[in-house]
Amino acid sequence: MQSPADFDMSRRGVLITGTASAAVTAVPGVANAYAPSASTGKAPIMSTVAFTVNGKDYKVELDTRTTLLDALREHLKLTGTKKGCDHGQCGACTVIVEGRRINSCMTLAVMHEGDSITTIEGLGTPGKLHPMQAAFVKHDGYQCGYCTPGQICSAVAMLEEIGRGIPSHVSADLTAQPEISIDEIRERMSGNICRCGAYSNIVEAVQEVAGQRA
Partner 1 sequence: MKAFSYERATSPAEAAALAGRTPGARFIAGGTNLLDLMKLQIETPAHLIDINGIGLDRIEATEEGGLRIGALVRNTDLAADQRVRRDYALLSRALLAGASGQLRNMATTAGNLMQRTRCPYFYDSNQPCNKRQPGSGCAAIGGFSRAHAMLGTSEACIATHPSDMAVAMRALDATVETVRPDGSVRAIPIADFHRLPGDTPHIETALDPGELITAVTLPKPVGGRHIYHKVRDRASYAFALISVGAIVQKDGSGRVALGGVAHKPWRVEAADAQLPAGAKATAAALLAGARPTQDNAFKIPLVERTLGAVLAQAEAMR
Contacts with partner 1 by CB under 8 A lie at 41-45, 47, 63-65, 67, 86-88, 91, 94, 100-103, 106-108, 110-111, 113, 154, 157-158, 161, 164-169, 171, 174-175, 186-192
- Rounded to a whole number of angstroms, the minimum distance from the CB of residue 109 to partner 1 is 10
Q: Which is nearer to partner 1, 14 or 102 (CB)?
A: 102
Beta bridge partners of 94: 103
- Rounded to a whole number of angstroms, the minimum distance from the CB of residue 159 to partner 1 is 11
Q: How many CA atoms lie within 13 A of 69 on its CB side?
A: 21
Q: How far is CA 213 from the centre of its chain?
A: 23
The whole-angstrom separation of Cα 4 and Cα 43 is 41
- Rounded to a whole number of angstroms, the minimum distance from the CB of residue 111 to partner 1 is 6
Q: How many CA atoms lie within 13 A of 205 on its CB side?
A: 25
Q: Which is nearer to partner 1, 92 or 137 (CB)?
A: 92
Q: Which is nearer to partner 1, 89 or 125 (CB)?
A: 89
Angle at 97 between CA 143 and CA 66, to 5 degrees: 85
